[in-house]
Structure 1
Amino acid sequence: MPKVLFVCLGNICRSPMAEGLMRQYSKERGYILQIDSAGTSSWEEGNLPHPGTQAILKREGVDFTTMHSRPITKEDFYLFDWIIGMDKRNMADLLELAPNGMENKIYLYMDAIDGKQGQEIPDPWYSGQFEKTYQMLMEGMKPWLIRFKEEA
């Protein structure tokens, strides 16, 4: 079973939204993944997802009540097969934190989408654009699931 970790800055907006949506998307298609999310900072540690993320997940029928922000750990780099950042700052932080030999597990979310390589998912904590975040994440669900299946 592929193990996937979605990562953003505080682990209250983008990464828990990606975690919940991918868990639901893959399960609906009969493919079970081990999925979690984390942040590159500990600023929000222990907090539930942002109310904007909660609203999207609730609308989509995704339970978020057990999701609590946590910072990424060194162990995560060994445990997870895929560590997927939302923006270039996340990527830089992840590459800096990664133990030697683990850099090949780190990916930018939008890189899985043809024609969108290198694009970032902006942090809705600053913009309030949680619907845009949802739409960008959903655009990547199918291509990521295909990659998880192919490379499992």
Structure 2
Amino acid sequence: MGKQPVTVRRVLFVCLGNICRSPLVEGVARKHLADAGLDIEVASRGTGNWHVGEQADTRMRAAAANAGYELEIHCARQLAAADFEHYDLLLAMDGKNLRDMRAASNRSAHDRLALFLEWTSAAPPHDFPDPYYGEPEDFARSVALAEKGVEGLIKRLRGG
């Protein structure tokens, strides 16, 4: 017997600067959720404010475009208190992001905070590696990992 579908209308993806991982996952999720016929609002934020107002990292935009995802209109934003009230599910890219989110939110939001890869799939890794200081191929790996995670997200939302 399958699991019950999870009722989620709004999902927020969160990383450190909102220029690599979370905008990528937002873009992948937006496309695949729509393709799956799921009407779910998605967005992304960063826990830090260093890149507010900037586009996604050039390398991430290129890797995403090569895989068919559009990140050109992304504008980095910082996580705000209102986000904890607005979103049904807030998914952090790594453990540090999750700890920062827990510290910034009130306890009533904690049951809606989780690690993106842990929540969407039982398979490791649970932390989504940050490609920012890595090698060029790390950006393509990020796209593949985002696709895997979003596939798990859709499955879980449908009760699989």
TM over 0.5: yes
1:4 has 2:32 as partner: no
- Are 1:115 and 2:123 matched, yes or no? yes
Q: Contact 1:2/1:148 (CA < 8 Å) preserved in 2?
A: no
The DSSP-based 3-state class of the residue aligned with 2:37 is coil
Q: Does 1:139 align with 2:148?
A: yes
- The residue number in structure 2 matching 1:126 is 133
Partners of 2:112 and 2:50 in 1: how far apart?
24
The reply to whether residue 58 of structure 1 matches residue 65 of structure 2 is: yes
Which secondary structure does the structure 2 equivalent of 1:42 belong to? coil
Contact 1:22 1:141 in 2 (8 A): yes
Kindly state the Cα deviation for residue 92 of structure 1 after the two structures are TM-superposed. 0.7
How far did residue 130 of structure 1 move? Answer: 0.6
The match for 1:81 is 88
Measured on the aligned residues, the alpha-carbon RMSD in Å equals: 1.4
Residue 97 of structure 1 is aligned with which of 104, 127, 130? 104
- Report the counterpart of residue 18 of structure 1 in structure 2: 25
The SS at the match of 1:107 is strand
TM-score relative to the length of structure 2: 0.87
Which of 1 and 2 has greater Rg?
2
Any gaps of 5 or more consecutive residues in structure 1? none
* Shift in CA distance, 135/63, structure 1 to aligned 2, threshold 3 Å: closer
CA distance in 1, matches of 2:142, 2:71: 17
- Contact 2:67–2:143 (CA<8 Å) still a contact in 1? no
Deviation of 1:109 (Å): 1.2
Identity of aligned residues (%): 27
Structure 2 alignment gaps of length 5 or more: 1-7
The alignment's TM-score, normalised by the length of structure 1, stands at: 0.91
Give the number of the structure with larger relative contact order, counting CA–CA contacts within 8 Å between residues 6 or more apart: 2
Choose the corresponding residue for 1:42, options 32, 43, 49: 49
